[in-house]
Amino acid sequence: MPFLWKDFLTRRQVWLWIALAFGLWIAMFWNFFAGTNPLTSDALSYFEHTMLFAKTLTQGHFPLWSQQWAHGAPNQFFLQRIGCYNPVYEWAILFKALGASDIFAYLLMHALYYFLGMIGFFLLLKRIYSDDVAAFTGMIVLFFSALGTRMFDSYMLIIVNPLIWFFFFLVAFTQERKVHFFLGIIVTLMILETTYIPFFVLTILVGFVLVFPLVYAAQLGDILRGYRDFACQHKKIVIVGALLLMMASVPSGMLFQKMKEGSMALPGRHVTSALPGQDDALKVDAPARLSWAIPEDILFSSYFWEFHRFRLSLLYIPFFAWIMVCLGAVCGLNRRIIFYLLFGGLFFILGSPFVLPLYDFLFKHVFYFKYFRNLHFFLWFLLLPLFAVLLAEFMHQVFQMRQDPRFKKTGFGALVIVVHGALIGFLLHQGGWAMGTLLTVIGSLVFFMWVALGRAFKPSGLIFAGLLLIVAVEPFQVYRFLVKNTGPVVQTGPSISRPAAPATVSGGNIYYGSAWFNFLNERLDAQTIGKYFRYRFVVYDDVAVFDEKAVNLGLLVNLFRNEVDIALVAPGKLPRPNIRPESLMKHAQGFGDSGEGLKVLNETPNTIRIKTSFPVEKFLVYNDSYDKDWQVYVNGRRATLYRANVAFKGVWLNAGENVVEFRYGPFVLTAFHVLLLAMLNVFFYAIGWLWWQDSRRPV
């Protein structure tokens, strides 16, 4: 069927207004895109990890190890955090290839992803209400809320976007059991499984599964029968979907397992005095768990309602939403509203530990509640979008009332005047309100008076334009304050793009690293650590066993500070058990990337090849964290890799020339990650293609 512009401009003009809304949003936050305003907090580290990942991918490597972080750490933690398998990251690669700066490429990718999320939200609302005006209202309220600003200081959108699309595909699939909707459910679940800590999403999904049957018990049978029929008709697709979901759960499972081994440390989440290998780093301590929840987030955000102090990390919803809440009081109570309130109420209670002890109960009885904190995230992931859905419901009912022949114009008009008058009175009483807020109220008054008293009408450009103007006028002012108040961030620590020079690594806490490196970092002083890390490689004539159960810090300090020619290795089989006395009097030899006797031939994130040439047998220590998934090959043959100097990698070298290669992870692991990335990409775009094909089919 040919694409008809006239048809698009008249019947589908809501898309023009959505596109305009996107343009307005970019204009509001252009300072961030231009690099004038910096990213802050978590957004900064996510930006760095994402662009490093993108850069490494373009070089043909899947970075399973991060050399820059805390002197080496498995990168799976960061890859999981950013959701590295998400196909949208390739957009950043594309923008970079077109000449964009790192920050512009990253933010443009994120902005487009956010827009895609909002399109998903609009389509979800359309599915629920079959009403462009209601869908548009809900969408622009959410779009201009502070949710979008979280891309500049957090990472929430990488979860919110696929979550919105998941619910869209779920609703669409329930209404029309089509293959591309089913694949959409699978792909969004895969993205959610492989992003950050999937327990937030798991909890939301479980909550949905519990609440939905309570409200829609009568329809549940038909829905499940429909799913069953689809499964019977499309067995292969369902099996493929199940396999893909299982495949997507592997990275999280591997990370979980790695953390449980105790080989990694996350001191900020979990303070431990246990020896490495004895604790689960992913578990969250009580203070970290409960220090900030939903009430705190709402209360804190309320301090900034005067807007001139507005900054990032604050909850903000356009004032129009509160007008809709007031008008919604006269809307009929139906099943949908009850569902939204129950579903939202459950998570409000869960995210507010002092309201009811639901969180405490789940923490005690559900294992994975020990692995996440930041309860206020439920406010952003679920409650805010659900609130926008509720507003769409109110708008839908208002317009439905308007279409009803029994509609009482004067009654509704009086209600509109009372509500708006009361809100203006409230604003005047409070003082300190923004001009945008007043304009919103006035604009809304005009809009709803026209709805109340005008003739019957169909959705038109005038309605969408009016709604966009009314909703966006206040955020336009609020975000001008935000841009003005977002000052330059002062970086005090090392980061991916600025790895710490050896001398600057001191006894300050690390965020994430190998448990043994953390052990060293917490116990040794800055001078000792700084002196030791002058060299990337250290070559010793002798080794001694290091007793893990009785750590002799004095000995460690002595050996490190004086660069004594004895390396310490973890207990194990040693070729030469006795230390030669002369080693105590000599210094070890230190190297950077090259020196007399040692040269780095090449390196990738997961490998490093060096050439050595020493006249006698030597023990080489590579000052990159030890991990059991590292292997070492000397002249092409697998050799024993020792945990040396407490936390690093060590290997014996025979006299003469040797080519030493350190490799992280078996090939199968890398191949699996690449396969998962490829599968997600294929299905991501396949959904779009199938959907396009389906839309062109005659009805």
Give 324 or 568: the residue with its C-beta nearer to another protein: 324
CB of 452 to another protein, least distance (A): 18
Shortest Å distance, C-beta 355 to another protein: 5
**Of residues 297 and 661, the one with the C-beta less far from another protein:** 297
Question: Interface with another protein includes 335 (CB under 8 A)?
Answer: no
Please report, as residue ranges, which positions from 602 to 661 form the binding site for another protein (by CB under 8 A).
Answer: none
**Is residue 510 a contact residue for another protein (CB under 8 A)?**
no
Note whether 341 binds another protein by CB under 8 A.
yes
State the DSSP string of 153-165: T--THHHHHHHHH
| Contact status, residue 564 vs residue 542, Cβ threshold 8 Å | no
Would you say 159 or 331 has its CB closer to another protein? 331
- H/E segment holding residue 602: strand 598-604
From residue 312 to residue 331, the character string flagging contacts with another protein as x (rule: CB under 8 A) and all else as - is ----------------xxxx
Choose between 231 and 330: whose C-beta lies nearer to another protein: 330
Are 381 and 204 in contact by the 8 Å Cβ rule? The answer is: yes
Nearer to another protein, 81 or 376 (CB): 376
The secondary structure of 463-505 as a DSSP string is HHHHHHHHHHHHHHHHHHHHHHH--PPPP-S--SSSPPPGGG-
Q: Residue 656 forms beta bridges with which residues?
A: 614
Residue 668 in tokens: 């199968």
Q: For another protein, which residue of 303, 488, 573, 616 counts as binding (CB under 8 A)? A: 303
Query: Per DSSP, what are the bridge partners of residue 602?
Result: 609
Give kind and range of the element (H or E) at residue 265: strand 264-265
**Residue 295 binds another protein, judged by CB under 8 A:** yes
| Position 300 contacts another protein (CB under 8 A) | yes
**From CA 404, how far away is CA 396, in angstroms rounded?**
12
Give 64 or 349: the residue with its C-beta nearer to another protein: 349
Q: How far apart are CA 206 and CA 223, in angstroms?
A: 17
- Draw the binding track, 355-394, toward another protein (x: CB under 8 A; -: no contact): x--------------------------------------x
Cα–Cα–Cα angle for 125, 127, 132, rounded to 5 degrees: 60
CA-to-CA dists, residue 217 to 164, 212, 227, 341, 543, angstroms: 23, 8, 16, 17, 70
Cα–Cα distance for residue pair 93/131, rounded to 1 Å: 37
Q: Show the DSSP H helices in 130-216 as ranges.
A: 132-143, 157-175, 179-193, 199-215
Q: How far is the CB of 574 from another protein (least distance, A)?
A: 50
Task: Count the residues of the shown chain that bind another protein, applying the rule CB under 8 A.
Answer: 22
Q: Which of residues 146-185 bind another protein (CB under 8 A)?
A: none
Question: Six-digit token pair at 351?
Answer: 């995210």
CB of 420 to another protein, least distance (A): 17
Instruction: Tell me the pairing of strands 566-569 and 542-545.
Output: parallel
- Among residues 316, 320, 321, 322, the alpha carbon closest in space to that of 481 is found at 316
Answer yes or no whether residue 480 interacts with another protein by CB under 8 A. no
Nearest to 323 by CA among 384, 398, 385: 398
* Range in contact with another protein (rule: CB under 8 A) among 78-86, 129-137, 333-341, 498-506: 333-341
Identity (one letter) of the amino acid at 82? I
Task: Report the nearest approach of another protein to the CB of residue 262 (Å).
Answer: 31
Among 354, 365, 406, 581, binds another protein (CB under 8 A): 354
Kindly state the tokens that stand for 385: 């979008």
The nearest distance, CB 387 to another protein, in angstroms, is 13
Question: In a 10 Å sphere around its CB, with 0-12 CB exposed, 13-18 middle and 19+ buried, how is residue 262 labelled?
Answer: middle
- 179-193 and 235-261 helices, crossing angle to 10°: 0
**How far is it, in rounded angstroms, from Cα 695 to Cα 699?**
9
Would you count residue 288 as binding another protein (CB under 8 A)? no
Is 280 within 8 Å of 338 (Cβ atoms)?
no
Measured from the CB atom, is 327 or 651 closer to another protein? 327
Q: With respect to another protein, which residue has the nearer C-beta, 301 or 495?
A: 301
Asked if residue 285 binds another protein (CB under 8 A), the reply is no
State yes or no: residue 292 binds another protein (CB under 8 A): yes
Give least dist CB 503 to another protein, A: 24
485 binds another protein (CB under 8 A): yes
Beta carbon of residue 411, minimum distance to another protein (angstroms, whole number) = 13
Separation of alpha carbons 639 and 620, rounded Å: 12
Which residue lies nearer to another protein by CB, 12 or 484? 484
Q: For residue 74, what are the β-bridge partners? A: 65
Say how far apart CA 120 and CA 402 lie, in whole Å. 27
CB of 482 to another protein, least distance (A): 13
Largest CA distance in the chain: 103
CB 376, min distance to another protein, A: 11
Closest distance of CB 42 from another protein, Å: 16
From the list 36, 219, 291, 509, which residue makes contact with another protein (rule: CB under 8 A)?
291
Taking Cα atoms as reference points, which of 96, 68, 170, 119 lies closest to residue 496? Answer: 68
Task: Candidates 99, 332, 572, 615: give the one binding another protein (CB under 8 A).
Answer: 332
Decide whether 6 or 429 has the Cβ nearer to another protein.
Answer: 429
- Taking the least distance from each CB to another protein, the nearer of 171 and 355 is 355
Question: At its nearest, how many Å lie between another protein and the CB of residue 393?
Answer: 9
Spatial strand order in the sheet of 598-604: 594-595, 598-604, 607-614, 656-664, 630-634, 637-639
Question: Tokens 């443009």 map to which residue?
Answer: 108
Q: Is the CB of 202 or the CB of 417 nearer to another protein?
A: 417
**Candidate segments 88-96, 237-245, 270-278, 300-308, binder of another protein by CB under 8 A:** 300-308
Stretch near another protein under the rule CB under 8 A, chosen from 171-179, 332-340, 361-369, 618-626 = 332-340
Q: Residue 299, interface with another protein (CB under 8 A)?
A: yes
Q: Which is nearer to another protein, 23 or 357 (CB)?
A: 357
Closer to another protein at the Cβ: 16 or 338?
A: 338
**Which residues of the chain form contacts with another protein (CB under 8 A)?**
291-293, 295-296, 299-300, 303, 308-309, 328-333, 337, 341, 354-355, 394, 485
